[in-house]
Amino acid sequence: MTDAPDDRSAEVGDRYGRPEPWRRTAVVVASGLVGILGLAWLSWTTIFHSAPDVSSDLVGWDIVDDHSVTATVEVVIRGDGVIATCRVQAFAEDHTVVGEASFAPQEGRNEVAVRTDRRATSVESVGCTTPGQKRPR
């Protein structure tokens, strides 16, 4: 003869103890709070990083001679009175940095002259920063 399912669960509860009824509610509430905090942080991060004060793109470059390069950088500045600094690097054939220039950009296209130690083969726009935006964009 077999025991009914209710009898077996009563035996298990008697043997190992029954969980407190408030425990499940506490776990659900705590999980909900952690989820809400996570979503709030994700929303803040997305909004904060989606519209930086300044951003830039390298449009092109021209190797003038063995000791100079001209780079064209497109800069977008959001907001009035934003003070930005942009940086451009020139690289040699062996991928070493042979020149670097920092400049205060204007809205739109900026022509930047970069003096180099030796002939450059490529140019990279590191990006632009502001006092409140430390990560170059």
66-123 pLDDT, tens per residue? Answer: 999 999 999 998 878 888 999 999 999 999 999 999 999 989 999 999 999 999 999 9
Specify the number of domains making up the chain: 2
Same domain for 105 and 59 = yes
137 assigned to some structural domain:
no
The per-residue pLDDT for 6 is: 59
134 assigned to some structural domain:
no
Same domain for 33 and 16 = yes
Q: Do 126 and 116 contact (CB within 8 A), yes or no? A: no
104-120 pLDDT, tens per residue? Answer: 998 999 999 999 999 99
At 4 the three-state DSSP class reads coil
Q: Which of 103, 97, 102 is nearest to 120 (CA)?
A: 97
Domain span at residue 122 reads 54-129
10 assigned to some structural domain:
yes
